[in-house]
Amino acid sequence: MTVQHIYQLYIRAEIDDLWRALTDPESTRQYFHATHWISPPVVGEAFQTHLPDGGVAVDGVVEVVEPPRRLVHTWHPVYDDDLAAEPPSRVAWELTPAGDGLTHLRLTHSALDQSPLTSENVRDGWVFILDSLKTLLETGSPLPPPSLMP
């Protein structure tokens, strides 16, 4: 059985603006749990995203960079020892113009067969990140952090 999570949404933003939001450290800090790329993604190179305290959140290898349409990289969360013990998975970002000022985003997180904890962790985690990204691009402000209280 192949384990993967697929998310699709439309964002009222130009494709170049969405690409910039995915790859620019200042943008990712706003919607991606305050994490950021250390350097721009380059095919074949290792990457890390960092937490506000400087610790590493995720590491991996960039597989595909086709601005402004496609970014693919492995995904190995290291902010948690149990997640870090699992093998890397794969994240593919696909952007498609969908009309005047509208872009379709498809995120596929795959290769999760041997990473059940990561799969469980990202299943709902991506929803908040993508919602915050959409909100940032459409309103200029990301979502506030969710309350842990019911």
Measuring CA to CA, how many Å separate 85 from each of 37, 79, 114? 22, 11, 11
* DSSP H stretches of helix in the chain: 15-23, 25-31, 81-84, 116-139
pLDDT at residue 149 in the model:
45
Contact call for residues 149 and 134 (beta carbons, < 8 A): no
pLDDT at 150 over 90: no
pLDDT tens digits, 25-83: 999 999 999 999 988 899 999 999 999 999 999 999 999 999 999 999 999 999 999 99
pTM score:
0.94
pLDDT at 4 over 80: yes
5-41+48-139 CATH: 3.30.530.20
Query: What is the spatial distance between Cα 142 and Cα 136, in angstroms, rounded to a whole number?
Result: 4
Query: Domains of the chain: which residue ranges?
Result: 5-41+48-139
- Give the mean pLDDT of the chain: 95
Measuring CA to CA, how many Å separate 67 from each of 12, 47, 95, 143? 18, 17, 9, 26
Contact call for residues 11 and 112 (beta carbons, < 8 A): no
